[in-house]
């Protein structure tokens, strides 16, 4: 297997956490009818509100679920053949999107690994985070690996990271009960994950599609440090399809992208060095209080607390406020009038 020929935006966002990366999640919205994907891709392409489209790929239902499970027959209807998926992935690429494949079972990992030009990254759902068969396959694929970690313990996450032992891993956190109640989201976990695992973090939001604060909560995940943001999308919000409870419109996704891009401009580097705008309001005298004489003072006078006060002055004064105590006890080398600035050029040590 050969790696993709160009560096994807996904890989760029893995290494540069200032780059926002928006994922439009389709899940099983198709319910066995792949034609809906073309309609979603067309709408997304019209507005280009996402960087990637995410698909759940299930090739072998018997490798995923037992016959005795009450959802077996339902998942069997979601199965699409490899050639159909190839066509979907090709259309996704043609419309300008990267592709995330959530491999629901081990055969889907093999499928994704064999299509590096069509699949940007491969995800293991949280239900498979310690599935050795799937981890072992994911360890060897050419694409980056996403680990869904909703409902996973720290031991689960450490085991998966240690076994995969690769530098291109994204941890995506998202509460998997749809729709998610706000009080269960625990956005502070994103910060904890960053400090604990030292890998890039994503946030998959599953709050109710029609809640007025849906966008706010999603964008909050970005502010907490997750530069990968994932949202379920649909053509008709509220229409009862799989995972419809958290699936938003393409227009809502566009608004999330707009707000995140706006917020990106406000984040900066985190450096404590003053930028040019800060320096303009940091000048001692015109902006900040500075040291001035309380009354007329004569050359040779030893400065004491009654001689100096703090005021704003028109000219800039080359002394720091914190030097006040240091300059007390020095002697003036020149006459100073009331309200004139006092600084190191006008004094000497006695």
The CATH fold of domain 276-348: Type Iii Antifreeze Protein Isoform Hplc 12 (3.90.1210)
For 108-151, give the secondary structure using H, E and C. HHHHHHCCCCCCCEEEECHHHCCCHHHHHHHCCCCCCEEEECCC
CATH homologous superfamily for 9-267?
Aldolase class I (3.20.20.70)
- Dist. CA 192–CA 157, nearest whole Å: 13
Give the pLDDT of residue 6: 66
This prediction's pTM: 0.88
Residuewise pLDDT in 10s, the chain (350 residues): 444 446 899 999 999 999 999 999 999 999 999 999 999 999 999 998 999 999 999 999 999 999 999 999 999 999 999 999 999 999 999 999 999 999 999 999 999 999 999 999 999 999 999 999 999 999 999 999 999 999 999 999 999 999 999 999 999 999 767 798 999 999 999 999 999 999 999 999 999 999 999 999 999 999 999 999 999 999 999 999 988 999 999 999 999 999 999 999 998 888 999 988 888 888 999 999 999 999 999 999 999 999 999 999 999 999 999 999 999 999 999 999 999 999 999 999 88
**With 0-12 CB in 10 A as exposed, 13-18 as middle and 19+ as buried, what is 251?**
exposed
Is there a shared CATH topology between the 9-267 domain and the 276-348 domain?
no
**By C-alpha distance, which of 332, 237, 326 is closest to 40?**
237
Give the pLDDT of residue 1: 44
Domain boundaries along the sequence of the chain = 9-267, 276-348
Give the pLDDT of residue 279: 87
The end-to-end CA distance of the chain, in Å, is 79
- For the chain, give the number of residues: 350
What is 270-289 written as a DSSP string?
Answer: ---S--HHHHHT--BTTTB-
Question: DSSP 3-state assignment of 238?
Answer: coil
Give the pLDDT of residue 5: 47
Give the pLDDT of residue 280: 84
Where in the chain does DSSP place strands (E)?
A: 21-25, 52-57, 98-103, 121-124, 145-148, 169-173, 201-205, 228-232, 290-293, 308-311, 331-332, 347-348
């Amino acid at each position: 297997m050969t790696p993709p020929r160009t560096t994807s935006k996904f890989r760029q966002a893995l290494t540069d956490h200032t780059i926002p990366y928006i994922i439009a999640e389709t899940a099983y919205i198709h319910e066995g009818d792949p034609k809906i994907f073309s309609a979603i891709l067309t709408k997304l392409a019209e507005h280009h509100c996402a960087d990637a489209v995410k698909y759940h790929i299930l090739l072998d239902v018997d490798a995923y679920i037992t016959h005795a499970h009450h959802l077996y027959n339902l998942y069997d209807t979601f199965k699409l053949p490899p050639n159909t998926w190839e066509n979907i992935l090709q259309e996704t690429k043609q419309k300008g999107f990267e592709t995330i494949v959530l491999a629901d079972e081990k055969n889907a990992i093999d499928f994704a690994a064999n299509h590096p030009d069509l699949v940007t990254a491969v995800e293991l759902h949280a239900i498979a985070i310690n599935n050795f068969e799937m981890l072992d396959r994911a360890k060897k694929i050419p694409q980056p690996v996403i680990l869904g970690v909703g409902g996973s313990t720290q031991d689960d996450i450490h085991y998966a990271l240690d076994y995969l032992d690769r530098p291109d891993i994204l941890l995506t956190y998202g509460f998997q009960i749809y729709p998610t109640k706000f009080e269960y989201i625990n956005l502070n976990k994103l910060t904890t994950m960053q400090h604990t695992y030292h890998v890039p973090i994503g946030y998959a939001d599953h709050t109710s599609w029609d809640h007025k604060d849906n966008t706010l909560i999603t964008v909050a995940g970005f502010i907490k440090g997750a530069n990968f943001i994932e949202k379920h999308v649909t053509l008709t919000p509220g229409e009862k399809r799989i995972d419809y409870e958290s699936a938003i419109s393409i227009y809502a996704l566009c608004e999330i992208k707009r707000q995140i891009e706006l917020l990106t401009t406000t984040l900066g580097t985190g450096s404590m060095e003053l930028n040019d705008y800060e320096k303009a309001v940091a000048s001692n005298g015109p902006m900040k209080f500075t040291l001035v004489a309380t009354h007329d003072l004569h050359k040779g006078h030893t400065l004491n607390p009654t001689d100096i006060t703090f005021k704003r002055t028109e000219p800039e004064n080359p002394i720091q406020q914190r030097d006040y105590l240091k300059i007390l006890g020095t002697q003036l080398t020149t006459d100073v009038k009331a309200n004139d600035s006092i600084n190191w050029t006008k004094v000497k040590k006695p």
